[in-house]
Amino acid sequence: MGGSQGEIRDSVNRKADSNQRTGLRGAAPDYYREGVMSKLGKKRKQFIFFALVVPMLLLIAFVVFPAIDLFRMSFTNWDGYSPEKEFIGMANYVSMFQNKDLWMSLKNNAVYFFIHLLMIVVELAFAVLLTGKLKAAKFYKTMVFMPYIINGVAISYAFSYFFSPINGAFDAILSAVHLESLIRSWLSDPKIVNYVLAFVSLWRFSGYHIILFMAALQSIPQDQLEAAEVDGATTWQLFKYIQVPAIMLMVDFVLFDNIRGALQVFDIPFVMTAGGPGYASSTFTLYTIKTAFTFSNFGLASTMAVAIMFMIVFIYVVQNYLIHGLVLKDRRK
């Protein structure tokens, strides 16, 4: 047995010497490297597939195809349950443009848009304040963001009681400070109901916008701000010439989110007023849903849904041109 072990040892040594002479020592690492690169290439292809192809397929399945079907139904007269859909051409589109109640609903959407638009400056100011060295900043951040994570239906019910004419908290507060003359029918007066609902929407979504602005502000290099302060820049100059230009892309997103949210607002008016009195607080989306499920006119409702999609896309294209084509282009120069 000892002889056999010696022979094996000699054979191994001879093979090692032969590998050294022929340069095969480096062959193993090269082969190993090629194997590793091959595995990395396969994993990269798998990542690209799952990261790009799968989301694209989901987008086509759950967005593109339903949108095409919605567009097709907009040319039909369908009640939602009949097996046949009568083709009526452009009749739904003509009816939509002649519907005065729908135009009133769209005007109500504009109230939400302009109130949120005016508050963007205030939201940005709060974001700057909370980003700075403020005591208990974490507590304020939590309180600001809290309304956004609460369910919209729950918020709507809470504010329904808050503005209720029967033992409502808001009327009680006005009475406590001797301002009874300001008490109104907050949810049934057509002149003010949309402003009350827009206030509730503002209370819910402003915190979300503030957090987005804070994230953008915190991405600005601190040494850039410190250098400007050393050069004598005031707080207003920092805000105007450094912070605002640096977060214009986030401003662009918040503006689009404002437009999209204003056109699609539904839960707050639905729960608090059901669109009343009459159609005084109805919104475009609320009127569309009522057309489909209350009046069983899914063809006309599909037409309204197509219209709101085109409005969102058109406004986005215009806004994108104004922000990227004009504002940011001038900044780059």
Domain boundaries, the chain: 13-73, 94-332
Residue 28: the pLDDT is 47
**Percent residues over pLDDT 70 in the chain:** 84
C-alpha distances out from residue 209 to 52, 61, 121, 145, 268, Å? 29, 31, 11, 9, 18
Mean pLDDT, residues 303-323 taken together: 88
- CATH number for domain 94-332, candidates 1.10.3720.10, 3.30.60.50, 3.30.420.140, 3.40.30.10: 1.10.3720.10
Q: If pLDDT is split at 50, 70 and 90, which confidence band does 34 have?
A: low
**pLDDT single digits (tens) 231-271:** 888 888 888 888 888 888 898 899 989 988 998 899 999 99
pTM exceeds 0.85, yes or no? no
Residue 171: the pLDDT is 93
Lowest mean pLDDT among 25-29, 158-162, 189-193, 200-204: 25-29
Residue 212 predicted with pLDDT over 70: yes
